[in-house]
Amino acid sequence: MPMKILLYSANFAPEPTGIGKYSGEMAAWLAGAGHEVRVVAAPPYYPDWAVAASHRGKWYSRETYQGAEVWRAPLWVPARPTGLTRIVHLMTFAISSFPVILRHAFWRPDVVLTVAPAFVCAPGGWLTARVCGAKAWLHVQDFEIDVAFRLGLMKGKVLRWVVQALESWIFRRFDRVSTISGRMMERALSKKVAEAAVVYFPNWVDIDHIRPLQHPSPYRKELGLPDDAVVALYSGSLGGKQGLMMLPQAAARLAHLKQLYFVICGDGVLKAELEAVCADLPNTRLLPLQPAERLSELLGMADIHLLPQSSGAEDMVMPSKLSGMLASGRPTIATCRAGTEIANVLAGCGVVVPPEDVEAFADAIAGLVAQPERRAVMGRQAREYVERHLSLDAVLSRILGSLVTLSGEPPIPHWPTKSDVH
């Protein structure tokens, strides 16, 4: 029996990366499986930190996205986000979207699924569910409050105690709390969420769209790279949580490896700074964010993927870009502590070094440059991991089962996949 699912996510399609990408794909998949899906979201603005031209000048609007009905509410977008401006930015959406999400109580959804960030939207999502008798589900992509304190964006023992106590209280109000890694599930439990309420909901990858290339990527020729180049690629948001300044530092240290080239692809607040630093590094190339339809070619350009993370953030977020890296069948070098979720995922298909240790990071890159056979083995194991655990249909089929169980609908023996629907 079809369900009514109300998705509350500040970030949504057509944003090409991050939370917006996953929320958009989830809404489209659920609608394609025959369910009624409504979405309350902000206008697209990420990763450029500027509202898309298609949505400028619109305060509130309504549209359809691949079978889902989408209501947009405005928000303020800072040109250069900082700790304080990010908080204000998210608060503006929580305030502007509150009457929009609440009016959907009259639609009487079966489940209200709120995505955090923005955690400040959680009270509105919970209240809407309670008003209409729906089940309340909170999906945590980032523990943004923990990250803010760890990175020094928010400070003070008293403030931390108050904010985290409020966060824990809100978490415990939801019928389900899901998050994207085992370590993050442990963190949810540490906030006194009942174990039975915590659900594993990893970010997925479309393994049909991203495949290991059997031929050189066209990007190599477009960037003027020699045929024997070994490419170390970073592709993703150019933001503050990624520790991205390690990339040009490693490139400078490894300038003597003439076959090694660093490619940095993406957009974000650090783009101008990276461009300035890389201007004098002949072994680096910078690319703007590329079209989604070329993602397989982009990721397949790499011989080695690079995943730098700031110290303190690497175990409170699971980078959404990692699943695509693994699906491309290439090894990944990440900066993270042993025992973190990233380190566990990369066991056998990558290398981990301590956060902010540029020397160890550069040594790991040089090591894989010199070992093509090892790169090939790791790449095969990366692809096998994704196929077993992170394919789009596998993840969303499991979550659809959880949604049906939560809403009280009788289970059906086979969850529809895209191939069933189309």
pLDDT greater than 90 at residue 339: no
Average pLDDT over residues 211-218: 94
- Rg of the chain (C-alpha set): 21
| Amino acid letter, 157 | K
Contact 235, 261 (CB under 8 A): no
Tokens of 358: 């540029």
Nearest to residue 27, comparing CAs of 4, 46, 43, 47?
4
CATH topology of domain 4-204+391-421: Rossmann fold (3.40.50)
Q: How many other CB atoms are there within 10 angstroms of residue 301's CB atom?
A: 26
CA distance 355 to 361: 9
| DSSP three-state, residue 194 | coil
Q: How many other CB atoms are there within 10 angstroms of residue 309's CB atom?
A: 24
For the ranges 92-101, 233-242, 375-384, which has the lowest average pLDDT? Answer: 233-242
What is the reported pLDDT for 409? 55
In whole angstroms, what separates CA 250 from the centre of its chain?
A: 25
| Amino acid letter, 150 | R
Q: What is the pLDDT of residues 278-324, one digit of tens each?
A: 999 999 999 998 998 999 999 999 999 999 987 655 555 667 789 89
Q: What is the pLDDT of residues 102-130, one digit of tens each?
A: 999 999 999 999 999 888 999 999 999 99
User: With pLDDT > 70 as the criterion, what percentage of the chain qualifies?
Assistant: 94
Average pLDDT over residues 245-267: 96
pLDDT band at 411 (very low <50, low <70, confident <90, very high): very low
pLDDT band at 135 (very low <50, low <70, confident <90, very high): very high
| Amino acid letter, 267 | D
Nearest to residue 333, comparing CAs of 385, 282, 382?
382
pLDDT greater than 50 at residue 98: yes
Query: Same CATH topology for 4-204+391-421 and 218-388?
Result: yes
| Amino acid letter, 14 | P
CA distance 75 to 84: 15
Q: How many other CB atoms are there within 10 angstroms of residue 158's CB atom?
A: 7
In the chain, % helix, strand, coil (3-state, to 5) comes to 45, 15, 40
Q: Which residue has the higher pLDDT, 392 or 303?
A: 303
Q: Where are the domains of the chain?
A: 4-204+391-421, 218-388
What is the reported pLDDT for 315? 55
CA distance 330 to 382: 7
Tokens of 161: 């105690």
pLDDT greater than 80 at residue 33: yes
Q: What is the pLDDT of residues 393-403, one digit of tens each?
A: 889 998 998 89
Domain 218-388 is found in CATH 3.30.465.10: no
What is the reported pLDDT for 195? 93
Taking every pair of C-alpha atoms in the chain, what is the biggest distance, in angstroms? 65
CA distance 272 to 239: 11
Average pLDDT over residues 19-31: 95
pLDDT band at 240 (very low <50, low <70, confident <90, very high): low
pLDDT greater than 50 at residue 208: yes
Strands 260-265 and 230-235: parallel
- Tell me the CA distances in angstroms from 177 to 240, 400, 409, 411, one per residue in order: 27, 15, 19, 21
Average pLDDT over residues 196-206: 90
Q: How many other CB atoms are there within 10 angstroms of residue 407's CB atom?
A: 18
- pTM (predicted TM-score): 0.76
Contact 175, 114 (CB under 8 A): no
Nearest to residue 94, comparing CAs of 71, 122, 62?
122
Q: How many other CB atoms are there within 10 angstroms of residue 1's CB atom?
A: 10
- Main-chain phi, psi angles of 244, to 5 degrees: -75, -20
Q: What is the pLDDT of residues 144-190, one digit of tens each?
A: 777 777 767 677 888 888 888 999 999 999 999 999 888 889 889 99
Tokens of 329: 């069948």
Q: What is the pLDDT of residues 63-86, one digit of tens each?
A: 999 999 999 999 999 988 777 788
pLDDT greater than 70 at residue 207: yes
| DSSP three-state, residue 383 | helix
What is the reported pLDDT for 7? 98
CA distance 341 to 307: 13
Burial class of 212 by CB neighbour count within 10 A (0 to 12, 13 to 18, 19+): middle
| DSSP three-state, residue 400 | helix
pLDDT greater than 80 at residue 230: yes
What is the reported pLDDT for 164? 85
What is the reported pLDDT for 421? 34
What is the reported pLDDT for 1? 78
